[in-house]
Amino acid sequence: MTKEIRLRALGDTFKKLDPRDQIKNPVMFLVYLSAIITTALFFTGLWGWKDAPSGYVAAIAVILWITVLFGNYAEAIAEGRGKAQADAMRSGRTDVTAHRQKADGTLEDVPSSQLRKGDTIVVSAGEQIPADGDVIEGAASVDESAITGESAPVIREAGGDRSAVTGGTQVLSDQLVITVTNDPGESFMDKMISMVEGASRQKTPNEIALQIFLVALSLIFIVVCAALYAYSIYVSGQLGKADPITITSLVALLVCLAPTTIGALLSSIGIAGMSRLNDANVLAMSGRAIEAAGDVDVLMLDKTGTITLGNRQAAEFLPAPGVTEHELADAAQLSSLADQTAEGRSIVVLAKKFGIRERQNTSHLHFIEFSARTKMSGVDYDGHEIRKGAVDAITNYLRAAGKEMPQKCVQDVRKVAEAGGTPLVVVKDHQAMGVVYLKDIIKAGVAAEFQNLRTMGIKTIMITGDNPVTAAAIAAEAGVDDFLAEATPEGKLEMIKKFQAEGHLVAMTGDGTNDAPALAQADVAVAMNTGTQAAKEAGNMVDLDSSPTKLIDIVRIGKQLLMTRGALTTFSFANDVAKYFAIIPALFAPIFPQLGILNIMGLASPESAILSAIIYNALIIVALIPLALKGVAYRAVPAVKLLKRNLLIYGLGGIIAPFVAIKIIDLLLVLVIPGI
């Protein structure tokens, strides 16, 4: 964390003393009011009406103000990273000149601030795209580093799922004709800035529920403290005991009874969770989305690019009868020398295992490029003709020459398809040479990742356009729980609705207009930044890196947020137990000396006990800020085991830590203030 962020947070700490800011956090507002009351009691003591010794009241007041400031600092430091990032985005924005197309087709130069939704603009190489929009004509390389932080350019073109462009990015080549999709102030960059700096962060349902619970507890403790004060007046007056409990001590008791630790950190936990998501280059359109990610129990994942590498690789040569593997490899390599696709290059690489190297002299080779009409590619040389292609295309090619596919090749084709691969048939001079097995390569570590998700109670579903046989083979190898083959927009939508009707929370990714209905229905919908405007509007998160695997990271961050909140809540409530043992005996010992037996910590005096407890109450907030910002360590374990772990570490730790810390503070107070 930079020095600038810390200095800004320090300034914001004092700005947040505004009552309008304080009342947004009811628990800390109670501490704020308590600080005001004790400050007033100090000044009334100077003017003649003493509640307690002036030094004691002043110490309580100062510590309570410090507690408020520490709570403000926790929230300010969490907001600091987002504000710094937002400032950097703002500084990079300029009002550029846009070439707007008029009704007669001519262009006029206008400031980008004058562009409106529906306008058509033309952006050429070297120019900045002035507004969000969809490409309606042309294709170009675009530098999106201002948005994603990635230096590698991307292709944006009319039609398909790569037509959306973002204002502030730069065209590197060619020319684009764009329809503007947002008015000024509503652009994707504006939304990013607002979300990153936390201006639009809404409290999540669980956060609101927890805050209501904390407020209810605080109200109960206010009633308890008022009753204790009335009781102490009765006892001291009717029974002739010591003086009643002072208001200052009761205020200190109230602050220690109230769950101030989690109350002070609750907001910063949520902000830090959003910040971790921003660090992962994901923009959450609401706090509800990241919290829902933590509760997701069904993940719908694209096969290509998520589960598989996305590029099929040659895995095996299956020769026809009378043909050796070496001969098939030689023919397959020759037909692939000019094939620059990942599949073609992998065939060349696999052939090298048979001692076949790429030809140095290819001038006598006439390459036949792949065409969608023939579904074949190949090479002609020295009177020979080699072709490779899809099974049906090669079958028709052979039949046109009066030949048939050998039965062994037919069987090999079926075997490859059943294994989840793609068969390519190679022929030479109208004679089948054999089958090349192209395999969808499962990403390393994916199976283990899915096992971790399964341990957490999350069901994984692979979505693919492959036929059911191929989909089943890949699903089995990857270790997913289920799959949706030959996926259609309607099929995805129906599957999501089915799971939601059964009470599940569903997450999915998508980038195309045809994904928009399912994204809108999903509880956590991650749209790719490279996708269409419709997909981004339907999702509640946007992955700026456009990485389909990011969904797993999002779920992990969401669960870490919930785990952090649960751990610190457990610690906060356990903390209060020790504080009760410090303060309650100290308050009532003068009236009921028998309660001295409860002073198990052996604290020096009632005053030192109360001061030690509220000093600890303030310091623990600062001590827990790093944990609130970083989050507890993520563990892929079931909820029951997680609860047991929280109780053991944060529950037991929350009970032991205050006993030790309060005793140490008490000893230090006795050394600093003799006779306290």
With b meaning 16 or more CB within 10 Å and e meaning fewer, what string describes 541-552? bbbbbbbbbbbb
Mean pLDDT for the chain? 83
- Pair (318, 431) in one structural domain: yes
How far does CA 82 lie from the centroid of its chain? 15
Q: Which two tokens mark 48?
A: 């003649």
374 is in an annotated binding site: yes
In a domain, 55, yes or no: yes
Tell me, what's the pLDDT at 295?
85
Does residue 302 have an active-site annotation? yes
Which DSSP string do the residues of 208-270 spell out, in sequence order?
HHHHHHHHHHHHHHHHHHHHHHHHHHHHHHHS--SPPPPHHHHHHHHHHHS-HHHHHHHHHHH
Q: Contact 162/530 with Cβ under 8 angstroms? A: yes
Burial (CB count within 10 angstroms: exposed 0-12, middle 13-18, buried 19+), residue 36: middle
For 37-70, give one letter per residue: b (16+ CB within 10 A) or e. bbbebbeebeeeeebbeeebbbbbbebbbbbbbb
Query: Looking at the domain assignment, is residue 566 inside a domain?
Result: yes
Phi, psi of 178 (to 5 degrees): -125, 140
Q: Which of 35-39, 132-136, 285-289, 554-558 has the highest mean pLDDT?
A: 35-39
| 349 φψ region: left (φ > 0), alpha (ψ -120 to 50), beta (else) | alpha
Residue 288: inside a domain, yes or no?
A: no
Instruction: Answer yes or no: do 204 and 250 share one domain.
Output: yes
Q: Are residues 361 and 417 in the same domain?
A: yes
Total domains present in the chain? 4
Higher pLDDT, 85 or 33: 33
Task: Clarify whether residues 576 and 648 are in a common domain.
Answer: yes
Q: Domain boundary at 512, 546, 580, which?
A: 546
pLDDT digit string, tens, across residues 54-91: 899 999 999 999 999 999 998 888 777 667 766 666 66
Mark whether 432 and 317 lie in a shared domain: yes
The domain boundary, picked from 500, 522, 546, lies at 546
Which of 49-53, 147-151, 385-389 has the lowest average pLDDT? 147-151
Q: Region 591-611: what's the mean pLDDT?
A: 80
Same-domain status, 151 and 46: no
The domain spanning residue 528 has which CATH number? 3.40.50.1000
CATH number (domain holding residue 399): 3.40.1110.10
Q: Residue 221 pLDDT > 80, yes or no?
A: yes
Whole-number Å distance between alpha carbons of 289 and 282 = 11
Q: Residues 12, 119, 143, 302: which is the catalytic one? A: 302
Q: Alpha-carbon distance 141 to 316, whole Å? A: 36
124 within some domain:
yes
Which two three-digit tokens encode residue 175?
């020319």
515 belongs to an annotated ligand binding site: yes
Q: Is residue 190 assigned to a domain?
A: no
Burial 571-601 (b: 16+ CB within 10 A, else e): bbbbbbebbbbbbbbbbbbbbeeeeeeebeb
Closest Cα to residue 71, out of 637, 643, 641, 624? 624
pLDDT at 281: 82
How far CA 131 is from CA of 99, 112, 376, 387, 675, in Å, comes to 11, 7, 43, 48, 71
Q: Which of 179-188, 313-322, 667-676 has the highest mean pLDDT?
A: 313-322
* Residue 511 annotated as lining a ligand binding site: yes
pLDDT tens for residues 287-307?
A: 678 878 888 889 888 777 667
Residue 46 lies in a domain: yes
317 is in an annotated binding site: no
The pLDDT score that the predictor gives to residue 511 is: 73
Q: Per-residue pLDDT for 29 more than 90?
A: yes
User: Measured between alpha carbons, how far is 243 from 247 in angstroms, rounded to an integer?
Assistant: 12
Residue 376, annotated ligand binder?
yes
Q: What is the DSSP letter of 354?
A: G
pLDDT of 661 > 80? The answer is yes
- Residue 501 has a pLDDT of 92
The H-assigned helical ranges of 92-204 are 145-148, 188-196
% of the chain beyond a pLDDT of 90: 21
- Count the Cβ atoms, other than its own, within 10 Å of residue 201: 21
**What interhelical angle do 260-279 and 287-295 show, nearest 10?**
90
pLDDT in tens, 252-277: 889 988 889 998 988 888 888 888 88
The pLDDT of residue 90 is 64
Q: Are residues 224 and 255 in the same domain?
A: yes
373 is in an annotated binding site: yes
User: Has 388 been labeled as part of a binding site?
Assistant: yes
105 occurs within a structural domain: no
CA distances from 236 to 49, 57, 70, 587, 605 (A): 19, 21, 37, 13, 20
Smallest CA-to-CA distance from 163 within 152, 179, 174 is with: 179
Instruction: Scan for tokens 């069987």, then name that residue.
Output: 411
Q: What is the pLDDT of residues 439-464, one digit of tens each?
A: 877 877 788 888 888 887 889 998 88
pLDDT digits (tens, 9 = 90+) for 335-357: 888 877 778 888 888 888 887 76
| The total number of residues written for the chain in this structure | 676
Residue 219: partners with Cβ closer than 8 Å, 6 or more residues away: none
Residues 202 and 65 in one domain: yes
Model confidence at 360: pLDDT above 80: no
Q: Is 102 assigned a ligand-binding role in the annotation?
A: no
In angstroms, the CA 518 to CA 578 distance is: 51
State whether 451 and 541 are in the same domain.
Answer: yes
Q: Which of 408, 437, 466 is the last residue of a domain?
A: 437
**Domain extent for 532:** 298-307+443-546
How would DSSP label each residue in 111-137? EGGG--TT-EEEEETTPBP-S-EEEEE
Instruction: Write down the pLDDT at residue 439.
Output: 83
Q: What letter would DSSP give residue 375?
A: -
173-211 pLDDT, tens digit each:
888 999 998 888 777 667 666 656 654 555 667 778 888
370 labelled binding-site residue: yes
Do residues 207 and 70 share a domain?
Answer: yes
Residue 110 lies in a domain: no
Nearest to residue 250, comparing CAs of 587, 535, 648, 662?
A: 587
Whether 645 and 662 share a structural domain: yes
Q: With a cut of 80, say whether residue 145 has pLDDT above it.
A: no
Q: By the 8 A CB rule, do 420 and 474 touch?
A: yes
Tell whether 268 is in a known binding site. no
pLDDT computed for residue 318 by the predictor:
93
Average pLDDT over residues 4-13: 84
* Domain match, 450 and 429 both: no
Nearest to 177 by CA among 100, 109, 94: 100
And the tokens for 509?
């990714």
Q: Specify whether the CB–CB gap between 387 and 378 falls below 8 A.
A: yes
CATH code, domain carrying 145: 2.70.150.10
Please list, residue by residue across 107-126, b when 16 or more beta carbons sit within 10 angstroms of its beta carbon and e when fewer do.
eeeeebeebeeebbbbbeee
Rg (CA), the chain: 34
Helices 342-351 and 325-336: crossing angle in degrees, nearest 10, is: 140
- Structure confidence at residue 498 (pLDDT): 92
